Amino acid sequence: MEHNLARARAVVEALRAVIDKASRSPGEGQAVAYDLASMSSAVAAAAELLDYGARGQEEADLALLHAADVAADLAGRMTGRESQWGVDGSALDGVAAHVAAGRDPVFQERVAERVMATREAGPRHLPDELRMVRTAFREFAADRVAPVADRIHRDNEDIPADIIDGLADMGCFGLSIPAAYGGFAEGGADELLGMVVVTEELSRASLGAAGSLITRPEIIGTAIARGGTEEQKRRWLPAIASGERLCAVAVTEPDHGSDVARITTGAVRDGDDWLLTGVKTWCTFAGRAHYLLVLARTDPDRAAGHRGLSLFVVEKPSIAGHEWRLTQEGGGSMEGRAIRTLGYRGMHSFEVGFDRWRVPAGGLIGLDDGLGRGFYLQMQAFANARLQTAARAVGVMQSALELAVDYARQRSVFGRPLADHQLTRTKIARMAASIAACRAFAFAAARAVAAGDGQLEAAQVKQLACRAAEWVTREAQQLHGGYGYAEEYSISRLFVDARVLSIFEGADEVLALRVIAPRLAKP
């Protein structure tokens, strides 16, 4: 154990040195900045896996395997661009032997042997309380979610009420809402770990039918807790925590995706109300939601940019189905249309149009003190959402790994079980190492976010885990051969579901260029 852990530490130290040097003198242009930001996320995860690696031989092997894979990726991205990275071609020469050891197919086969025996990406080492939480939600997901997940996906159905009601009874929607307002968060370094564990288990059963139900309460609850008045907190948060009121988020616009500061949906004061006009898109769960968190421009001066935005909680009835329209006395209207998507079905993502929809003054988070603070509250809330999305990605990857192992054991190719082929085993080993690294990083990021910062870590783990989920589900699907392309096999659902993860809650490129890279450049 100590030998491989020492190798992993040496590789991580070399990787960190490259990232630190490149961050101090970043090259010009987005291409290098994107690669630098992306590799910083992978290196940060490899570093978090070192503590995990100290727990045993299996853990140390996973740490070395992942560090070696990151080194190979970094070397490939730097090749031909060394001057723009500010390093020379020998930057990783000192750890070449360690990288070779981690990439040795014979070594990776040994790692795969243990993974295939357990269907796990290494031991979890959860404390007793979180182990019980994991068990409870895994059982719920197995009993209520997994049996209907494929049907919901194939037929683009609504999430059954019994799943939502069951999760509400288990306190799922109040995991990050302060206990003083009916939730379960009581502060402390580990207060977000339960959310990470629960999200992974639900996403393991279905991203669209369960794993994403927590995201919107995370975003809206955080925004209200940080920016709302005391009366608003007491009015909205207990209902969200109990699941009595479901939530959706309306931020993105058709012409302004991740460029939130340029949104055009406006809110104009009219007596004691605000009149909301504009179109939002990708409003997941907007039909079933009772509360919509809407970011709107309250300062008509476009030069104010993000400083002219405010956040509203817009109340509406819960409506099932794919289309709906609501009207108010005086002519105000709101209508929604579900967007057909490749995957991520069950939640339904809507385009929502507002035409002079009347919102009481009390719907502005923070009341007059909240004017112009919407962008900042939204960004703070997104840290929780990005962390939660990383946990969703880990759940999807874990499910894909299990399906890949099961199929490889059952299927024979050229007279031998698929599981006995070296290429199958090396793939499974690398999948497990990636999952273990993302899981360890998600826990570390949860503690950073709970400490009041964590914007960088949340963006990094979200970026890394979501890209990893695409690769892991792709490899798992490939191991299934033609059956992996058939909807009757769950791996096809996981593959298309994983594709959305790098797009929402901060697109991969936007996180790299607008969040991660600028923070790396700061001294």
Determine the pLDDT at residue 117: 96
What pLDDT score was predicted for residue 506?
Answer: 83
Task: Tell me the C-alpha distance between 171 and 169, whole Å.
Answer: 5
Amino acid residing at 226 = R
CA 71 to mean position of chain CA atoms: 24
| Domain(s) of CATH 1.10.540.10: residues in the chain | 128-242
**What confidence score (pLDDT) does residue 261 get?**
66
Percent with pLDDT over 90 in the chain: 79
Largest CA distance in the chain: 78
Report the SS3 class of residue 134.
Answer: helix
> What's the pLDDT score for residue 445?
96
Task: Report which of 294, 293, 289, 182 is spatially closest to residue 245, judged by C-alpha positions.
Answer: 289
The confidence score (pLDDT) of residue 189 equals: 74
Which residue do the tokens 């956040």 mark? 311
To which CATH superfamily is domain 247-364 assigned? Butyryl-CoA Dehydrogenase, subunit A, domain 2 (2.40.110.10)
User: What integer pLDDT is reported at residue 29 of this predicted model?
Assistant: 85
Task: State how beta strands 291-297 and 309-315 pair.
Answer: antiparallel
Selecting among 200, 315, 505, 509, the annotated active-site residue is 505
Helix axes 374-410, 422-450, angle to 10 degrees: 160
- The conformation of residue 158, written as its DSSP 8-state character, comes to P
Q: Which of 474, 362, 459 is nearest to 45 (CA)?
A: 459
Residues of the chain with pLDDT under 70: 1, 26-27, 256-261, 303, 523
pTM for this one?
Answer: 0.94
- For residue 316, give the 3-state DSSP assignment: coil
CA dist 93 → 72, 157, 194 (Å): 12, 54, 41
Alpha carbons 351 and 322: distance in angstroms, whole number:
10
Q: Where in the chain is the domain with CATH 1.20.140.10?
A: 2-103
> Which DSSP string corresponds to 394-452?
HHHHHHHHHHHHHHHHH-EETTEEGGGSHHHHHHHHHHHHHHHHHHHHHHHHHHHHHTT
Cα dihedral sign, 116-121-123-128: negative
pLDDT for res 262: 76
Cβ-proximal residues to 136 (8 Å cutoff; 6+ apart), any chain: 170
Cα–Cα distance between 469 and 204 in angstroms, integer?
Answer: 12
3-state secondary structure 47-75: HHHHHHHCCCHHHHHHHHHHHHHHHHHHH
- Cα 109–chain centre separation: 30
- φ and ψ at 76, to 5 degrees? -65, -40
Sequence-distant (6+) residues with CB within 8 A of 362 are: 231, 232
Amino acid at 254: P
Architecture of domain 128-242: Orthogonal Bundle (1.10)
Query: What confidence score (pLDDT) does residue 128 get?
Result: 94
> Nearest CA to 295 among 384, 381, 378, 386?
378
User: CA 40, CA 515: separation in Å to the nearest integer?
Assistant: 12
pLDDT tens, 386-409? 999 999 999 999 999 999 999 999
pLDDT at 227: 94
Per DSSP bridges, beta strands 247-250 and 291-297 are parallel
**Backbone dihedral angles phi then psi of residue 271, each to the nearest 5 degrees:** 65, -125
pLDDT (tens digit per residue) in 336-378:
999 999 988 888 999 999 999 999 999 999 999 999 999 888 8
In the chain, the amino acid numbered 280 is: K
Angle (CA) 230 234 237, round 5°: 115
pLDDT confidence of residue 220: 92
Distance between CA atoms of 69 and 62, rounded to whole angstroms? 11
Residues 6+ apart with CB under 8 A from 515: 455, 456, 459, 506
Superfamily of structural domain 2-103: Butyryl-CoA Dehydrogenase, subunit A, domain 3 (1.20.140.10)
Alpha carbons 133 and 194: distance in angstroms, whole number: 7
Integer angstrom CA distances of residue 360 from 245, 273, 318: 18, 4, 19
Q: How far apart are CA 458 and CA 465, in angstroms?
A: 11
Tokens of 232: 């608003």
Q: What is the pLDDT of residue 203?
A: 97
Read off the amino acid at residue 270.
D
Supply angle C-alpha 132, 163, 178, rounded to 5.
Answer: 60
Of 220, 378, 388, 392, nearest to 292 by C-alpha is: 220
327 in Cβ contact with 317 (< 8 Å) = no
Residue with tokens 């032997």, as numbered in its chain: 97
Residue 2 falls in the annotated catalytic set: no
The residue type of 368 is D
The residues facing 249 across adjacent strands are 293
The SS3 call for residue 358 is strand
